[in-house]
Amino acid sequence: MWGSDLLEQNPDFYKVFECPWTGEKVVCVRSLKPDYSLIHVQEADIYGNARILGPAYQDWLMSRASGKVILTTERIVGTYRMQEEPKLTAIPHLLVEAVVELPGGAKHGICYPEYLTVDFDLHKEYQKAVKNGEVPKFAEKMLEGRL
Amino acid sequence: MEYGKDYGKEEMFAAACIREIQEGDNVFHGLASSTPMVVMKAAKELGKDFNYVTLSDGLDHDWLRPPYSASTLTENTYIGSVATFGLDDIFDLFARGQGHIAFLSCLQIDKTGRIAMSVLGGPDYDHSALRGPGGAGTASIVPCCPRTIIWKCAHDTRTMVPHVKFATTTAAKDKSMTLITPLCIFRKAPGETEFKLDSIFPYTTIEEVKENTGWEIAETEVPVLDPPTAEELAALKKVDPNYILGYEF
């Protein structure tokens, strides 16, 4: 972060400390602790164990940082899937508050390997809805499959 | 090779970027970075032995799968990867000093390598005329990256300004920074604090570069970079049949 004007701009977020071992000055960034994370996954069981079968981005970190996690999932699978290969469970149930089965839940974005391209027309609709303050209406249409 | 017939500014720009990559490098490009994506795929096709990391989590994906969109977050930079290595891993890699090149872009840049990615214009940060994307890793990676490459597909006085008011990051004094535009290459060597004009492309002149740059250029004579080779052009064509390279120009 050295050389960034963000340090001065956000003093509550960035602080310079001395490294206790080397004495070197280091920039520390305050940790984020969201109340909730909403994470869409390819597979989850009814207890909230979740597998991320494509790029995970920072979902793993978000699930650990948040107070509560709400999962949406392409499909609900049996817990045996997790027991077969526990290492593939990216988010364990003890971190998860709720699981919602929602196929296509990442649209208009992508969810590898379920759907691979951003739906740009839908993205434009979404942008329009944001501009016009009509996101609830947009969401309603999405959920009813009318978009 | 003849400009306008065998190659355009896009191919020259890409060839200049490809030549920056050295054997053994760990090379990163960011989000919305279709140009370096094509560059890095072509460098792989040319047989350069380097490691390709990016935000899609993929490490050394199958570079022969043609990109069909300018997005760098599709499965195109993931399928065929040998491992997943996400952005958090990439930040740590650079912080440990094991990253070599980061291809990053900007809204504005000045001669001292101050880079605007957060805000532009307006009286202050909270009342800016334009709010930018922030540049994900720019502020974190630049201070740790030995050879940052700023790729900018437009060369004009709107983006290359005398002074960047609010810097998301600044070139680190002890590291090198290279700025590649469709006209030329600027370099800031480790230990120095300002860009110097390093070389120009075959189809331009120092005068044209000066006219389109918002800061004073002291250099009066610089080398002209070789045009793209037949091999470089063939590699670009092979990895990018849908010509995603042209998207940002």
Ranges of H-type helices in chain B: 9-18, 34-45, 87-95, 138-141, 206-211, 230-239
* DSSP 8-state symbol, B120: E
Chain B: give the shortest CA distance to residue A9, in Å.
Answer: 8
A100-113 b/e (C-beta count within 10 Å ≥ 16 → b): eeeeebbbbebbbe
Structure tokens at B240: 């990018």
Residue B48 makes CB contacts below 8 A (sequence gap 6+) with B18, B21, B22, B23
Q: How confident is the model at residue B136 (pLDDT cuts 50, 70, 90)?
A: low
Collect all residues of chain B within an 8 Å Cβ-Cβ radius of residue A5: 118, 166-168
The residues on A that touch B, with CB distances below 8 Å, are 1-6, 9, 54-58, 60-61, 110, 112-113, 116-118
Give ipTM to 2 decimals: 0.90
Residue B34, SS3?
helix
Determine how β-strand A68-76 pairs with β-strand A36-44: parallel
Q: How confident is the model at residue B137 (pLDDT cuts 50, 70, 90)?
A: confident
Return the residue of B nearest to A113 by Cα.
B75
CB contact under 8 A, B69 and A4: no
CB contact under 8 A, A117 and B69: yes
CB contact under 8 A, A5 and B168: yes
Chain A: give the shortest CA distance to residue B232, in Å.
Answer: 29
Collect all residues of chain A within an 8 Å Cβ-Cβ radius of residue B139: 1, 4, 6
Please state the domain extents for chain B: 9-248
CB contact under 8 A, A56 and B139: no
Q: Is the predicted pLDDT of residue B1 greater than 90, yes or no?
A: yes
Chain B: give the shortest CA distance to residue A81, in Å.
Answer: 21
B58 touching A (Cβ < 8 Å): yes
What pLDDT is recorded for position A41? 98
Task: Decide if A94 contacts A66 (C-beta within 8 A).
Answer: no
B31-60 b/e (C-beta count within 10 Å ≥ 16 → b): bbbbbbbbbbbbbbbbebebbbbbbbbbbe
Distance CA B17, CA B5 (A): 21
Q: How confident is the model at residue B10 (pLDDT cuts 50, 70, 90)?
A: very high
Chain A: give the shortest CA distance to residue B154, in Å.
Answer: 24
Q: What is the mean pLDDT of chain B?
A: 95
| Positive or negative torsion for Cα A6, A36, B132, B12 | positive
CB contact under 8 A, B139 and A117: no
Chain A: give the shortest CA distance to residue B202, in Å.
Answer: 34
Determine how β-strand B184-188 pairs with β-strand B176-180: antiparallel
* DSSP 8-state symbol, B126: G
B87 touching A (Cβ < 8 Å): yes
pLDDT, tens only, A84-94: 999 999 999 99
Q: What is the count of residue pairs from A and B with beta carbons less than 8 Å apart?
A: 65
Task: Decide if B198 contacts B149 (C-beta within 8 A).
Answer: no
Return the residue of B nearest to A2 by Cα.
B143
Render each residue's pLDDT in chain A as its tens digit; 147 residues.
999 999 999 999 999 999 999 999 999 999 999 999 999 999 999 999 999 999 998 999 999 999 999 999 999 999 999 999 999 999 999 999 999 999 999 998 899 999 988 888 999 999 999 999 999 999 999 888 777
Gyration radius from chain B CA atoms: 17
CB contact under 8 A, A58 and B86: yes
CATH architecture of the domain with range B9-248 = 3-Layer(aba) Sandwich (3.40)
Distance CA B233, CA B1 (A): 10
This prediction has a pTM of: 0.93
Structure tokens at A112: 């590898």
**For B114-235, where are the E strands, in sequence order?**
114-116, 119-120, 130-131, 147-151, 169-170, 176-180, 184-188, 196-200
Q: What is the mean pLDDT of chain A?
A: 94
Collect all residues of chain B within an 8 Å Cβ-Cβ radius of residue A14: none
B139 touching A (Cβ < 8 Å): yes
Q: What proportion of chain B, given as a percentage, has pLDDT over 70?
A: 100
